[in-house]
Chains A and B, each alone.
Chain A
């Protein structure tokens, strides 16, 4: 963390003591948040992580210490103006129920005095960015949307004036697990394009590992137990507290570190749904995998078909074999893929990009190979590099 680039946000000896409380809620926290990264504040409840986040946009005023944004001391500047430079997303989202989606999204640009045309264009752009049709959703009200859609609007609203920083307080916690996973993947995909500096609070270590470029594990009073990349935290936890917090299945969790877009996918033989049976049969004959993946006209995976399935000549192609849906998003992790394979009927899963277009196939063997690599790396670290790695950690701890 001794990078020469100036951090986007720097918290310096930040302390918060609430009136009438003996203990500091946050005690002398110093933390650099690098530009363009997702930094996760994770810790048990009561660790002061939300208080810390709210001090960054000064919804809670620090008792002492300083906050720097892009090198500028913002501890005493006008709080409302400061907040317009940072997006803010909370668990309950807090969309304005009496305002349309377009009006919700344009809240900050309107306060900043943007021209109407520019605002309208920005609203459309943002709705498209979060995958919602502007002509359909712009005029709707929050109550007409599902929980997942509201969450997307919450993110769009936070990004409206293109702030360099977005603060997120358990943004996906109130959403069902399936939608949550999808939103997390979408958000990571989005982040590869927008490269914002994101400070993200969660109590869920799995979410932290999946979402974070860097994780700050917070103990009581926001004492930083470890501040490092997910990989380092999982392989070299700094102390007992971190070990306990990561939990027993640290190795399994490491599967969350690798995204499908980072591994080499298998080129499975494919055929178009629209083609005749003869060419599917040919593809099968040429296949060394024993089966063929059928794609629809938009190259979205549809069915797994093997030679036996082809004997049912009376059923249409779209109905023979086994379903290849749901396919896995390439932003998903090996952990997600393994989970999908264990619950599906196939020892392999089709991988698609953000538009649902086929990219390749992942099977158990790919995951096993990844695990072998991880074990080799861990062994290396154990043999020599570990002591050095551990020596650098105290500088990252505060208090």
Chain B
């Protein structure tokens, strides 16, 4: 235990750099996935059947093990940052798309009818009424995706991706040596701390962006 704390103190600069890389790639992936997901949801939520098909495809992609997906992407986008980013985006899609569709479909039809009856056009209704009302559910989807991709990003180190996975895999490849456990534990702990920080971040985002009237 003492050893591990000494190790952390010694490596803190390095771990911090890895954590920053880790956060960056997750944030970029979540931003891209959110944009794609909300767009897909807006285009499909009116039809229960089309929405189900889209969610089915996205669900199936989630069942591909991440390690396999990274490998499969190498021929197309090479090693390093890019396959990891693409894979993270693919994984992040489902929770956000599903929650956006659920949120949009869950808006009380009476609210839609009254908006329509007052002369709100379709776009205005979508942006002024439906999306704001679905937002708490969408945000939950984004949170779930973020925590999930934080973990998957760690595995991205296997294809030379950035982030805390680097230390985890370095440790695993050195099993038997004294630093092996320290390396793996340090990286893992970093991911856990990031997940908690992100959770806190989303609580604040929710406070700031969800109307008091629907909280």
Contact = CB atoms under 8 A, between A and B. Distances in A.
Contacts of B31: none
Interface stretch (A96-104, A115-123, A129-137): A96-104
Nearest to A81: B119
Nearest to B211: A98
Interface string A77-98: 0011111100010111111111
A196 to B, nearest CB: 16
28 contacts: A59-B113, A80-B121, A81-B119, A82-B119, A83-B116, A83-B119, A84-B119, A90-B113, A90-B117, A91-B110, A94-B108, A94-B110, A94-B114, A94-B115, A95-B111, A95-B114, A96-B111, A97-B211, A97-B214, A98-B213, A99-B211, A99-B213, A107-B115, A111-B118, A111-B120, A142-B213, A154-B114, A167-B117
B129 A96 contact: yes
A108 interface: yes
B133 interface: yes
Contacts of A80: 119-121
A143 interface: yes
Contacts of B213: 96-100, 141-143
B113 to A, nearest CB: 6
Interface residues of A, number: 29
Contacts of A79: 119
A101 B132 CA distance: 16
Contacts of B116: 59, 83
Interface residues on B, range: 20 to 34
A81 B119 CA distance: 6
A57 interface: yes
Contacts of A167: 117
Interface string B103-141: 000001011111111111100100001001100000000
User: Would you list the 3 A-B pairs with minimal beta carbon distance, nearest first?
Assistant: A94-B114, A141-B213, A88-B117
Contacts of B212: 141
Given A94-B110, A97-B111, A98-B133, A84 B118 contact: yes
Nearest to A100: B213
Listed residue (A82, A90, A107) with the most chain B CB atoms within 10 angstroms of its CB:
A107
A298 B132 CA distance: 46
A98 B107 CA distance: 11
Contacts of A100: 213
Contacts of B124: 111
B110 A96 contact: no
A154 to B, nearest CB: 8
B interface, over-half SS:
helix
A167 B114 CA distance: 11
Interface in B185-215: 211-214
Given A90-B110, A141-B212, A142-B213, A96 B119 contact: no
Given A90-B114, A98-B132, A99-B211, 7 more contacts: A80-B120, A88-B117, A88-B118, A98-B211, A99-B213, A141-B211, A143-B213
B121 A96 contact: no
B115 A96 contact: yes
A80 B115 CA distance: 10
Nearest to A141: B213
A98 B117 contact: no
A213 B128 CA distance: 37
Nearest to B122: A80
A111 B121 CA distance: 10
Interface in A307-341: none
Interface string A198-209: 000000000000
Nearest to B132: A98
A157 B124 CA distance: 18
Contacts of A111: 118-120, 124
Contacts of A97: 111, 133, 211, 213-214
Listed residue (B113, B213, B214) with the most chain A CB atoms within 10 angstroms of its CB:
B213
B210 to A, nearest CB: 8
B110 A107 contact: no
A90 B121 CA distance: 18
B80 to A, nearest CB: 43
Interface string B14-29: 0000000000000000
Contact of B118 (A83, A93, A141, A143): A83
Interface in B24-42: none
A92 B110 CA distance: 6
A107 B108 CA distance: 18
A198 to B, nearest CB: 15
A108 B115 contact: no
Interface string B79-104: 00000000000000000000000000
Contacts of B113: 59, 90, 94
A84 B117 CA distance: 8
A91 B109 CA distance: 12
A105 to B, nearest CB: 11
Listed residue (B111, B117, B124, B212) with the most chain A CB atoms within 10 angstroms of its CB:
B117
Contacts of A142: 213
